[in-house]
Amino acid sequence: MAFPERRRLQSYNNDSSDSGSRDSPVHNTTDHAPTPARLTVMQGWKRRDLAVWLAYLIMLAFTVPRHEPWNDEAQAWLLARDLSLPQLLSHGLRYESHPPLWYVILWIPSHLHIGYFIFCWISAAIAAAGIYVLLRLSPFPFYLRAILPFSFYLAYQYSVVARSYVLFPLLCFLVAHAYRQPKPRPVLLAIYLALLANVSIHGTLVACLVAAIYGWNHLRPGQTDPITKRSLIPATLIFAASVAVAGLTIFPLPHDLTTVTSPAVTRVLLGPQTTTQYPAWVQALPPSPPPAPSATQIEQGGIRGRLASLPRRLSYSISSSYLIAFALYALVVAFLYARGQLLLLLPLGAISLFFSFVYARSWHLGLIWVTLLMILWAAWDPNADASPGLNLQKILGGFLFLVCLLQLSWTWRAIRYDIDSPYSGAKATAAYLLTLPSNLRIAAFGPESTAVVPYFSRNIFFNQPTAFWLWSTGNTIDIDTPQTVATHPDLILLMQQFNLDYRPDDNPILDYAQINGYQETHRFCGSIFMHEFQKVPDSCYLILQPTGLSPAK
């Protein structure tokens, strides 16, 4: 981020007020104990759900130990590890533009001095809890409950990959369960929404809209139900406090922030920014061809470009086929209209527009899929699945099953890839560095270097003041390359990325180091898995040493 893009440097429940295995949005008028036959059926369904959950746990147990976290995953751990809780909440997260929930969760084990090995298991445990909620509480028929956990984002992207988004499915599912309770439970819903609002900005947006819809449904003119304005006061206070926590953690944004990636958002939040100039040492390097577009970003410039890419964004987490994706959206709209719950489209529409006109990367777009499942959960009628004949909900359920079936290939390729190939070269890089003498002076450049540091108990890079990357215009680590190289580091570590044609991107730090007597001696590569690519371009950590010297010297 230190330089512009031209040169890259960086079961039904009789008592509906209680949580049951299958809640119904319709009040039950009888309170009879289930017959023995019905009891047997309910127990059988529970055994099937347990079998699905165990299969999910086994899948995680095979995959998680073989996943190598990349720098965006490691950054959260380093912030939690190296900052006190007041520092984290009042200062550190302003440079991340993230609410605090994920970081607070990581702060606990990191300050109990539990090693980095626990990091991905925390993510896996949260994902497993989300799938348990899905299997235990969702109103979907068993054929859907059995396949949904293995859809790509629930099985891999928001489980094995350890980022704050792993909390999104668990909390969205709990929100949907509380939302549909026949006996309103606004305080419980407010607690779930409060947590969701502190997962990410996307969670804040979705939580605010769900809260508004819930309030409107229960307090609109002519509505008669047991909720009164007075009974909503505690829920409102809980949710408002959570939004305040999220807001106070992020705002006011530091004026030296560099992580607001949309120019329009930057201008609104931070005001006009000074154009970054190329340092003289970069301008003095031999010219190089412009890099190809990023392999991991779904983004086009300008309103026209973003509108043109909107269909791809909307279909990305659903299906590779636009026809299948938009057929599903059409069925969802028709279903919600028939159920009289079109307002539930607001969270889905809002998050889709956010991704279209503010910012989105490939891994963010799965939040559309999770939000879609949440609103379907909130509106689903189990009685329609049990009724004879074909109806709209059964058609929607069958189509949703088809989408999940097609996603199984994504999940299979992701898991097979992560088991057989490195997701990031950071772990192998750290393993190599651990074999070297501990007194070596190692210089590292770019935010990707943070993925190596968690394998050590301290910051091992002498030219970086913190183990985490500070997203500040005052961070001159990359700009100060000539001064750092002039001190003759024993090793230089940097990242080399490859474009869509699998050719290396322009890297002026590498060029400068080579001109000044350093040569590559080791490389450790990995590829972030993206389901739209058969083969994602590599990102490689390069170890450079002075010409003719070995690390031991």
Q: What is the pLDDT of residue 304?
A: 76
- As a three-state string, the secondary structure of 220-237 is CCCCCCCCCHHHHHHHHH
For residues 376 and 332, is the Cβ–Cβ distance under 8 A?
yes
**Alpha carbon distance, N-terminus to C-terminus of the chain:** 33
Q: What is the pLDDT of residue 499?
A: 81
Q: Which two tokens stand for residue 217?
A: 């449904």
DSSP helix/strand/coil, 309? helix
Q: In degrees rounded to 5, what are phi and psi of residue 372?
A: -60, -45
Return the closest-CA partner of residue 268 out of 367, 360, 363, 357: 357
| Segment 319-365, tens digit of pLDDT | 999 999 999 999 999 999 999 999 999 999 999 999 988 888 999 99
User: Domains in the chain, please, with CATH?
Assistant: 426-546 (3.40.190)
Question: Which residues are bridge partners to 524 per DSSP?
Answer: 541
Task: Report the side by side order of strands in the sheet with 518-526.
Answer: 442-444, 491-497, 539-546, 518-526
Q: What is the DSSP letter of 455?
A: G
Q: What is the pLDDT of residue 261?
A: 63
Q: What is the pLDDT of residue 301?
A: 59
Q: What is the DSSP letter of 461?
A: B
Q: What is the pLDDT of residue 188?
A: 97
Q: What is the pLDDT of residue 30?
A: 37
Return the closest-CA partner of residue 385 out of 395, 400, 376: 395
Q: What is the pLDDT of residue 16?
A: 37
For residues 64 and 56, is the Cβ–Cβ distance under 8 A?
no
* Rg, C-alpha atoms of the chain: 25
| Segment 484-502, tens digit of pLDDT | 999 999 999 999 998 877 7
DSSP helix/strand/coil, 492? strand
Q: What is the pLDDT of residue 264?
A: 61
Return the closest-CA partner of residue 503 out of 290, 301, 296: 290
Question: Please, where are the H alpha helices in 9-112?
Answer: 36-63, 71-82, 85-90, 101-111
The 3-state DSSP composition of the chain as helix, strand, coil percent (nearest 5) reads 55, 5, 40
Regions in the chain scoring below 50 on pLDDT: 1-21, 24-44, 294-296, 551-553
Q: What is the DSSP letter of 184?
A: -
Q: Which two tokens stand for residue 534?
A: 């058969």
Return the closest-CA partner of residue 529 out of 189, 13, 161, 18: 161
Q: Which two tokens stand for residue 216?
A: 């409107």
